[in-house]
Amino acid sequence: MRGVWRGAGLTLAAALLTGTLPAQAASGASQPAGPPAGGMVLDRVVAVVNDEAVTLSEIQEEGQPVVRRIFQDFVGEERERRLEDAQKRLLDDLIDRRLMSQVAKREGMLPSAAEIAGAIEELKRNNNATDDAQFRALLRAEGLTLEQVRRTVEERLAIGRLLARQIRSTIILNEDELVQSYQSHQEKYKREPLAVIRHILIPVPPGGDEAARTRAEEARAKIQAGADFAEVARQYADSTSGAPSTEPMTVHRGELAPEIEAAAFGQPPGGVSPLVRTEAGWHVIKVERVQTESVASYAEVRDSIRDQLFQEKFEAKRKDWLASLRARAFIQVLMQAEDLGVDAKKP
């Protein structure tokens, strides 16, 4: 179910702390539905972002799967360190998202109910959930509810629109930048020569070299004439060790006997090599593809270069833009990350 929250900061499984909401968070703040009997509010405000509160319950909702994995994978001081780091990242992420959500709301970028429903249906498909009951079961396994998913989907859609307008639309990459990056980072695009081949082995019985060679020549002639390679392989190949392999195989230089390597790398795509004799017998080799260049061509890697440069520029602009939002906002952190209440002794 981790695919549901790809890119989303998830949560801290801490026990609820008792307390009351500070007065400065009352106006416009997200608050629990109401105090239970006895007048206590089972929540606390962790931070105030402009006129909205970030509560401990939000921290707990967001971080539970993350903490569960930390408890599963680490122990002792390493677990404590990772828990503290996770709490700090989560608090920073929640503050940033609250700021962006406020801007998105102010600029009328909130998604419609139909858009939210469509996004949830896509989540179901991506997680192979065939109906609502199965989807809810998957969510429960991650400690999530459908309502939490709806809230997060709404937030992510709104923030996505905002970032598209504020940042993505301002990034322009020209061809010269892409070429310069390619030329400056040739080491990233090095590759080993390889060939994709199909192969038939016709073994030589004692005293039967000529007969085996004749069978190999017949097989080669049929393949050159356009016969189906797999069918020829089934008819002529060695079957003493089971059904012959008819699938293409990828080979690199240095992996094969020299005679076979010369045949594999000595033919153009679609070519059938002359017969090759080794101790194992006679070989018929058809070459499907050959890659001999030590560096991938610009055309092959252009799209990946563009994606990487775009992402680098996007992250840099996003960081600067968020810093400017923070500089103009009222942000008060009332609980430090290390005080958020996660008990490292409780799984």
Joined together, the tokens standing for residue 3 give 């695919």
Residues 115/157, Cβ–Cβ less than 8 Å: yes
Least Cα distance to 196 among 274, 110, 287 occurs for 287
Amino acid symbol at 147: E
- Whole-angstrom distance, CA of residue 222 vs CA of residue 286: 12
Query: Which residues is 287 bridged to in the sheet?
Result: 197
DSSP letters along 78-108, please? HHHHHHHHHHHHHHHHHHHHHHHHHHHHHTT
CB atoms near residue 23 (< 10 Å): 7
* Selection from 152, 21, 81, 97 nearest residue 337 by Cα: 81
Question: Residue 249 forms beta bridges with which residues?
Answer: 197
What pLDDT is attached to residue 190?
87
Average pLDDT along the chain, 347 residues, taken 10 residues at a time = 33 24 30 37 82 88 83 91 88 94 96 96 93 91 86 95 95 96 92 88 88 92 91 80 68 86 89 91 91 87 96 96 96 78 43
30 and 98 in contact (C-beta within 8 Å)? no
CB count, 10 Å around CB of 309? 16
- What whole-number distance in Å separates Cα of residue 263 and Cα of residue 19? 78
Question: pLDDT at position 8, please?
Answer: 32
Tens-digit pLDDT profile for residues 210-219? 999 999 999 9
Q: What b-and-e string marks burial along 110-130, b requiring 16 or more CB atoms within 10 Å of the CB?
A: ebeeeebeebbeebbeeeebe
Q: Each residue of 166-217: pLDDT tens digit?
A: 999 999 999 999 999 999 999 899 888 889 999 899 988 888 899 999 999 9
Report pLDDT for 93.
Answer: 93
Note the pLDDT of residue 341.
52
pLDDT of 193:
84
Nearest to 25 by CA among 44, 40, 8: 44
Measured distance CA(279)–CA(308) in Å, rounded: 49
Measured CA to CA, the distance from residue 287 to residue 224 in angstroms comes to: 12
Q: Is 337 helix (H, G, I), strand (E, B) or coil?
A: helix
Residue type, 200: I
- By C-alpha distance, which of 243, 241, 231, 246 is closest to 199? 246
For the entire predicted model, the pTM comes to: 0.62
Question: Mind listing the domains of the chain with CATH numbers?
Answer: 1-171+328-347 (1.10.4030), 192-291 (3.10.50.40)
Instruction: Judge contact between 213 and 275, C-beta under 8 A.
Output: yes
pLDDT on residue 107: 95
- Written as one letter, the residue type at 70 is I
